[in-house]
Chain A
Amino acid sequence: MSRDYQAFLATKRFGYGARPGEIAAALPDPVASVLAQLDGYNPDAGPDDDLPGQVEATRHFFAFRDARGDFRKQSELKGPARDAREKELFGINPIYTVYSAEVLARARLAASSDRPFIERLVAFWSNHFCVAIDSDAIVRLLAGNYEREAIRPHVLGRFEDMLLATRRHPAMLAYLDNDKSVGPNSSFGKRTGKGLNENLARETMELHTLGVDGGYDQGDVIELSRILTGWSYEGPRGDEPGRFRFHPNTHEPGIRTLLGTSYPPQGEEQGIAALADLARHPATGRFLATKMVRHFLGRVPDGGLIDRLAATYAGSDGDLGALTRALVAAPEMWEPAHAVFISPFEFLTASTRATGLELNETEVARVLRIFGQVTWQPPSPAGWPDAPDAWLAPDALMERLDWAQRVAHLVPVPDDVDAFAADILGAAYDGDTRLAVTRAETRQQALAMLMMSPGMQRR
């Protein structure tokens, strides 16, 4: 494997594509250029934008909803006239304004970051623990906050902490219905006859920790859902709306047995202990290692890579920093697969990093909608697919071409497109692509060809 090609992979397989100069900078030691992005990373870093915290956003949303509800009760207006008056009085619903601001901040950060690998990790774990904005207004409102506060701080930390943080965030609690789950024998359950919702417990084991073949059964799902009853968040009348709260009055009392381990009745602590054990389970280490390899490489290679990574996970007590470093250091991860057709967000970001395209809320939302990857709206709790060709479809490819032509007319195209292409694609700028770029009729057409070339579309 040539070092030239590894330098390309450093920016693409472990990043969002090169900005001018980045491949050249990675060339002396491509592996080190990726690992260096992990050193000194401040886990509290994130978008600089002024984005609301979960309580502030939630309070604002509830206030908006209440005020508008009152107005609707007394207003004589109907239809568009009422909509217009509401907009005058109350502005746009914060679930849209906050969401759009979060989406733009995320796209800008990925496009401008000096640590693009960190941004890839954030996106990976955010997809692993995905929520979907079309499930509930609270999820739309707080999906960005969820990624910033429950995912981002832990991408190089302990998996257990991320598992816990995601299970304590209102976006996840609402998305997987734990806010509606009631222990039938809790005081509230006995009074109302309400019961369990197994959704969060099931996905916790199937998708987030053990994996579907991780050795649990339906009895374990029910036990974990009992354990997690009471895990919810403060509603409109709470002191801190949107903040995680354990509600003892909906928590199922009693000793629980999960995967053969018994957990005494300790309220919230029962769940914390059970989640810690799930995080430490050997099946979890293997499941996470396999998923990371598949995501970044596009396939799972033969040989002992997964065993080694699972051992690193177990030996470090679930330290994702250690797991990530071992992943990057593995020679298998630098094999020339060149196979994965990048996702819409990756293509948007790679284009932005290469060309310096200015992003705004409208363009980001439009591009991702048309390309089929509305931010934080995956098709199911399993998240966006990782299969190498999952995004490769005729209509989608044509839309990318149409957009590439558009971008080529929006950004200043460098005078020497040939040199620019070599700078951006490095060793992936092969003879055929060079011919296509240099023979283009106009510099705009040359840039569009570069954006659509296999070196740009694949990693």
Chain B
Amino acid sequence: MNVCDYSRRQFMVGTAGLVAWAYQTRIAAAAPGRDPRLLVVNLRGGMDGLGAVAPVGDPDYHRLRGEAVLSADDPAHGLPLDDLFVLHPSLPTLHGLYRDGHALIAHAVATPYRDRSHFDAQDVLESGAAAVGQSHTGWLNRALAALPHGESIGASPAPALSIGAQVPLLLRGQAEVMSWMPPGFPAADGDLRARLLDLYRHTDPGLLATFEAALDLDRATGGEMEVVREIRAVTPDLKGPEMLARMTARTVGKLMVEPGGPRIGSMEILGWDTHVDGEPFDARFVRQMARLDRVIADLHTNLAPVWDQTVICLMTEFGRTVRYNGAGTDHGVGTVAILLGGAVSGGRVLADWPGLSEAALFENRDLRPTLDVRTLFKGVLADHLGLSDRVLAQTVFPDSAGAKPVRGLLQG
């Protein structure tokens, strides 16, 4: 029985943004004088790579998706990338970064997973394992554990801080991790906070350290309510998923810029499971693209002081079918991954394009993957954070010696 995908889709629509990061400052393994930042943005739900980055130069694209296609001829229908590809028109910020050489798009990528369950595909994408259910820790955490430890944010580090519920698999594991979610309840007033701090000071060192870290975190992010105020000043009436995504982006940016703040983090944007309303100009798909673009803009703005030392990886567990299902697209294997940041050697689409002819399709329905997404991650971890090929092939991505890091993804 295959009811799995169904429940996952419904579940993800309603889930909030989440950011998690390692309790670690400078990355000592990186090149001297550099203080690199790495942010992984997980687009949960399976983003339609062909809807976001369309191969308009491939004649089969028009044959398969003729009902609704992007085009390079008109800015309302697509933003040109190169001879083959066009970007969705609702991604102007991404397009600007691409033209400035700060965005690299990899197409026809996939994890080693070839089935189509969200649950399993996310497990593989985040664990970095070659198959489902092989690891309860994530590749980004294992990459962290392989780096020397730094100091925590704020003056009073809390004890071990990893908890499964709040931390995505990607960042679960040995290395200590913190998480932040957009505010759930109206913030307790300052007087109550001060009194509680005083009570813990007299009674409970563990609660005291944790609460002090919470207050530090609140100061570093500017306070949850302040975040809302700032965003509403620009975009009044903003609420719902977009508010959560943008609060998350802003908080990530603020934290990663801080001199003592985290250097590695992850956040999530949900809502990519576009079975319905999923053609490129359908309202929902356009909304998703526009939301992603505004999150990218928020990250770019908030990370501006450290932009040249930043790499942002946008990843999704799989793509969608190449043909429309009548309303949208169903789960399919190959999709895109995107690298952003001043440290990225961008302005290009990296693709060993398989084509969309009948013979080229994967199982006669999906974009055939020609690039293992782990090779991109490995390239970034090697050149940005200085991890060795051996650690990458054995620890971070177990048994992945055959998937060599893609070199030259970054500047210099």
Footprint of B on A, CB under 8 Å? 65, 78-80, 82-83, 93, 95-96, 133-140, 174, 179, 199, 235-236, 341, 344, 366, 369-374, 378-380, 382, 384-385, 387, 389-399, 401-406, 430, 432-433, 436, 440-441, 445, 448-449, 452-454, 457-458
Contacts and interface: CB of A to CB of B under 8 A. Distances in A.
Contacts of B204: 454, 458
A146 B331 CA distance: 30
Interface string B1-36: 101101110110000100000000000000000000
B192 A448 contact: yes
B159 interface: yes
Contacts of B16: 369
B181 interface: yes
Given A135-B119, A394-B214, A449-B196, A78 B185 contact: no
B206 A448 contact: no
B187 A402 contact: yes
Nearest to A199: B133
A394 B213 contact: yes
Contacts, number: 176
B178 interface: yes
A454 B202 CA distance: 11
Given A137-B6, A393-B166, A399 B1 contact: no
Contact of A390 (B1, B136, B163, B216): B163
A401 B183 CA distance: 12
A397 B3 contact: no
Contacts of B161: 392-394
A140 B160 CA distance: 31
Contact of A382 (B136, B184, B187): B136
Contacts of B293: none
Nearest to A399: B184
Interface centre among A369, A430, A458 (most CB of B within 10 A): A369
Contact of A397 (B195, B214, B216): B214
A432 B199 contact: yes
B148 interface: no
Per CB-CB distance, the 10 closest pairs between chain A and chain B, nearest first, are A379-B164, A370-B184, A372-B165, A394-B214, A137-B7, A402-B185, A137-B3, A394-B213, A79-B277, A432-B202
B199 A136 contact: no
Contacts of A394: 158, 161, 178, 210-211, 213-214, 216-217
A137 B4 contact: yes
Nearest to A439: B195
Nearest to B6: A137
A452 B158 CA distance: 18
Contact of B159 (A389, A398, A405, A436): A389
28 contacts: A135-B4, A137-B6, A140-B7, A140-B11, A199-B133, A369-B184, A371-B184, A379-B164, A379-B172, A380-B136, A389-B206, A391-B163, A392-B210, A393-B178, A394-B158, A394-B178, A394-B211, A395-B180, A397-B214, A398-B188, A399-B183, A401-B196, A405-B192, A406-B185, A433-B203, A440-B195, A449-B199, A458-B204
Interface of B: 1, 3-4, 6-8, 10-11, 16, 119, 133, 136, 158-161, 163-166, 169, 172, 178-181, 183-189, 191-193, 195-196, 198-200, 202-204, 206-207, 210-211, 213-214, 216-218, 276-277, 282-284, 327
Contacts of B184: 366, 369-371, 399, 402-403
A198 to B, nearest CB: 9
A82 B196 contact: no
A436 B198 contact: yes
A397 B210 contact: yes
Given A379-B169, A402-B185, A433 B199 contact: yes
Given A394-B217, A395-B181, A404-B188, A78 B160 contact: no
A398 B277 CA distance: 38
Contacts of A384: 164-165
Given A136-B7, A394-B178, A441-B191, A372 B166 contact: yes
Nearest to B204: A454
Contacts of A80: 277
B211 A397 contact: yes
A133 B7 CA distance: 9
Contacts of A378: 164-165
B129 to A, nearest CB: 13
A457 B196 CA distance: 13
Contacts of A445: 191-192, 195
A140 B119 CA distance: 14
Contacts of A366: 184
Nearest to A61: B3
A398 B192 contact: no
B181 A95 contact: no
Given A397-B214, A454-B207, A134 B165 contact: no
A163 B277 CA distance: 44
A136 B4 contact: yes
A372 B179 CA distance: 11
Contact of A393 (B8, B163, B186, B193): B163
Nearest to B137: A380
A432 B187 CA distance: 24
Interface centre among A387, A405, A406 (most CB of B within 10 A): A405
Contact of B10 (A93, A135, A448): A93
Contacts of B216: 394
Contacts of B327: 78-79
A379 B165 contact: yes
Nearest to B8: A134
A387 B211 CA distance: 19
Interface centre among B191, B192, B214 (most CB of A within 10 A): B192
B166 A134 contact: no
Contacts of B186: 402, 405-406
Contacts of A453: 199, 203
Interface centre among B169, B185, B196 (most CB of A within 10 A): B185
A396 B188 contact: no
A218 B211 CA distance: 45
A78 B214 contact: no
Interface centre among B7, B180, B202 (most CB of A within 10 A): B7
B164 A385 contact: yes
Given A366-B184, A393-B163, A396-B163, A134 B119 contact: yes
A241 to B, nearest CB: 10
Given A136-B4, A397-B214, A405-B189, 15 more contacts: A79-B327, A135-B119, A137-B3, A140-B7, A179-B1, A374-B165, A380-B136, A394-B210, A394-B213, A395-B179, A398-B218, A401-B196, A402-B186, A405-B192, A452-B196
B136 A395 contact: no
A53 B188 CA distance: 42
